[in-house]
């Protein structure tokens, strides 16, 4: 088994003498076998042990056992106790999920603090089979069927080459001491129920059932790589991101088949469910403006695309008064600078984020507010008033652009659709003597 172990980890590009590995050891058969194999292989290792306090004296006994073994073998030992039940209760999650969250958070913190390159768990081939079946029962996509990955970022599983029987045989032959966890025999937990009641039935039909599942998981994992590469190419063709807004091009999306699978892949990072994906597709060719919400994001069906943006809390203030040369820091950075006109050096701004207006025509305090239905102005170059709603249509504004539009007013006149267009009446003319230059910048979130 030692040779198989070293061959397997060599295939994971783990080189002794160059890497430091933190082993997660409970004291049970599997993790003690892994610890024994790593010691014999000559890797520089440390051991991390979690005491979840769920089995009273038994949990404390596990910690003492692992600590003593590490001391005898001169292996650095780290232990931490957790209030697992209290954490589960306060976060509304199961004991198993609480233990998982607590241990992996600590493992990552510890490995960073102590300078370990990888974190190793003792998951083996039968664990992969159980995980495969659990995900299948609960319902899953392809990611749930590829099983436990040998390498996932900093996390490695160097025991996936072996099954439970092989590990038990090796532990008995090498006389490796370990501690039995009494909870492993209880069928109260789904994993144990599958281990003790479900898998034995399959093994009666197919003795190499676990091995077959592992081989299938490998094939699925390779197929997943192909699918993910294809999805990445499609995403570059369909999805654009700018200024905190994501847009999924409707025409390009509808060319992708199966469309629902592609769309679900694009929307999943924003928290949208598959059922929402189906509803969005049902509405995609209808009237624009329909909205869908996930926990943190809003999707709006636009004329040409699906527009996704983070849901922001509504401002308590709907308007801001601007005194002479005051800088507004929310919701816009608005800066003002007064300048006298010098025809020889004056140039008009080259960006929509900066404008120049005739100072004599402005009446302070100015007002900064969101646009409202019925608002109208005289667009630059025009002598006729135009409704902002018509301006938005002509400029092909999508709904998020409309709702995010601010106006700068002098008395009751709109002098600037901020970031877009000034009012013709407040433009710079040959008779202008002084100007006020406005510039804005979007605040970083």
Average pLDDT over residues 129-154: 86
Give the pLDDT confidence score for residue 312 in this predicted structure: 64
290: left (phi over 0), alpha (psi -120 to 50) or beta: beta
With beta carbons less than 8 A apart as the criterion, state whether 368 and 419 touch: no
Give the model's confidence band at 45: pLDDT under 50 very low, under 70 low, under 90 confident, else very high: very high
Of 295, 241, 296, 230, nearest to 265 (Cα)? 230
Give the pLDDT confidence score for residue 327 in this predicted structure: 56
With beta carbons less than 8 A apart as the criterion, state whether 221 and 147 touch: yes
Give the pLDDT confidence score for residue 444 in this predicted structure: 43
Average pLDDT over residues 177-186: 74
Of 340, 355, 358, nearest to 419 (Cα)? 355
With beta carbons less than 8 A apart as the criterion, state whether 334 and 342 touch: no
Sheet holding 434-441, edge to edge: 333-340, 434-441, 354-358
Give the model's confidence band at 351: pLDDT under 50 very low, under 70 low, under 90 confident, else very high: confident
Give the model's confidence band at 182: pLDDT under 50 very low, under 70 low, under 90 confident, else very high: low
* pTM greater than 0.85 (yes/no): no
Element holding 24 (H helix, E strand): strand 20-24
Q: Give per-residue pLDDT as tens, 211-264.
A: 899 899 889 989 989 999 999 999 999 999 987 889 999 999 999 999 999 999
Mean pLDDT for the chain overall: 88
Give the pLDDT confidence score for residue 56 in this predicted structure: 75
CA distances from 249 to 215, 234, 246, 254, 307 (A): 39, 11, 10, 9, 9
Q: In the 8-state DSSP scheme, what is residue 215? A: H
Percent of the chain with pLDDT over 70: 93
Phi, psi of 120 (to 5 degrees): -110, 130
Integer Rg of the chain from CA? 32
Cβ-in-10-Å burial (0-12, 13-18, 19+) of 291 comes to exposed
Out of 31-35, 129-133, 405-409, 437-441, give the one with best mean pLDDT.
31-35
Average pLDDT over residues 150-163: 93
Please report where in the chains the tokens 């509405």 appear, as a residue: 283
To 10 degrees, the CA torsion angle through 367, 372, 375, 378?
60
Give the model's confidence band at 445: pLDDT under 50 very low, under 70 low, under 90 confident, else very high: very low
Average pLDDT over residues 326-348: 73
Give long-range contacts, CB 8 A cutoff, 24+ apart: 241-248: 243/442, 244/309, 244/310, 244/445, 245/307, 245/308, 245/309, 245/400, 246/270, 246/307, 246/308, 246/309, 247/302, 247/305, 247/306, 247/307, 247/308, 248/305, 248/306, 248/308
Cα–Cα distance, 331 to 315 (Å, whole number): 9
Give the model's confidence band at 73: pLDDT under 50 very low, under 70 low, under 90 confident, else very high: very high
Give the pLDDT confidence score for residue 227 in this predicted structure: 92
User: Which of 109-118, 161-170, 390-399 has the lowest average pLDDT?
Assistant: 390-399
With beta carbons less than 8 A apart as the criterion, state whether 307 and 396 touch: no
Burial code (b: 16+ CB inside 10 Å, e: under 16) for 1-14 equals beeebbebbeeeeb
- For residue 341, what are the contacts with CB-CB under 8 A and spacing of at least 6? 428, 432, 433, 434, 435
- For residue 395, what are the contacts with CB-CB under 8 A and spacing of at least 6? 420
Cα–Cα distance, 338 to 364 (Å, whole number): 13
Q: Bigger pLDDT: 299 or 57?
A: 299
Phi, psi of 184 (to 5 degrees): -70, -20
Average pLDDT over residues 152-179: 94
Average pLDDT over residues 102-128: 95
Q: In the 8-state DSSP scheme, what is residue 28? A: S
Q: Give per-residue pLDDT as tens, 273-327.
A: 888 999 999 999 887 788 898 888 989 898 889 999 887 655 545 678 787 665 5
With beta carbons less than 8 A apart as the criterion, state whether 415 and 426 touch: yes
Give the pLDDT confidence score for residue 417 in this predicted structure: 93
Of 230, 229, 296, 233, nearest to 269 (Cα)? 296
């Amino acid at each position: 088994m030692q040779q198989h172990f070293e061959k397997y980890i060599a295939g994971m590009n783990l080189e002794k003498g160059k890497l430091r590995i933190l082993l997660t050891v409970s004291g049970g058969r599997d993790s003690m076998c892994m610890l024994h194999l790593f010691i014999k292989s000559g890797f520089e290792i440390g051991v991390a042990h979690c005491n979840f306090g769920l089995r009273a004296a038994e949990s404390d006994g596990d910690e003492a056992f692992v600590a003593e073994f590490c001391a005898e073998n001169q292996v650095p030992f780290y232990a931490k106790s957790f209030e697992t039940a209290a954490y589960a209760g306060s976060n509304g999650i199961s004991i198993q999920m609480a233990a998982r969250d607590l241990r992996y958070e600590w493992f990552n913190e510890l490995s960073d603090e102590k300078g370990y390159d990888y974190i190793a768990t003792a998951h083996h081939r039968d664990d992969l089979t159980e995980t495969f079946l659990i995900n299948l029962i609960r319902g899953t996509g392809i990611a749930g069927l590829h099983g436990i990955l040998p390498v996932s970022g900093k996390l490695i599983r160097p025991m996936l080459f072996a099954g439970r029987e092989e590990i038990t045989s090796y532990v008995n032959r090498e006389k490796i001491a370990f501690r039995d966890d009494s909870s492993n025999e209880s069928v109260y937990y789904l994993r144990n129920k599958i281990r003790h009641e479900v898998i034995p039935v399959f093994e009666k039909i197919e003795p190499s059932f676990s091995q077959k599942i592992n081989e299938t998981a490998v094939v699925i994992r390779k197929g997943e790589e192909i699918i993910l590469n294809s999805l990445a190419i499609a995403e570059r063709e369909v999805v654009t991101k700018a200024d905190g807004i994501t847009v999924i091009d409707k025409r390009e999306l509808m060319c992708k088949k199966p469309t629902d699978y592609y769309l679900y892949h694009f929307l999943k990072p924003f928290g949208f469910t598959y059922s929402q994906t189906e509803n969005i597709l049902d509405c995609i060719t209808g009237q624009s403006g329909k909205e869908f919400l996930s926990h943190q994001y809003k999707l709006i069906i636009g004329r040409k695309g699906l527009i996704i943006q983070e849901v922001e809390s509504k401002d308590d203030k709907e308007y801001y008064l601007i005194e002479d040369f005051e800088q507004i820091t929310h919701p816009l950075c608005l800066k003002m600078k007064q300048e006298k006109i010098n025809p020889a050096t004056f140039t008009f701004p080259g960006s929509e984020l900066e404008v120049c207006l005739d100072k004599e025509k402005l009446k302070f305090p100015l007002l900064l507010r969101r646009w409202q239905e019925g608002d109208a102005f005289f667009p630059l170059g025009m002598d006729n008033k135009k409704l902002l709603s018509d301006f938005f249509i002509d400029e092909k504004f999508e709904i998020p652009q409309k709702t995010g539009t601010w106006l700068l007013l002098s008395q009751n006149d709109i002098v600037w659709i901020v970031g877009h267009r000034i009012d013709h009446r407040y433009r710079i003319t040959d008779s202008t003597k002084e100007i006020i230059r406005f510039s804005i910048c979007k605040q970083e979130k």
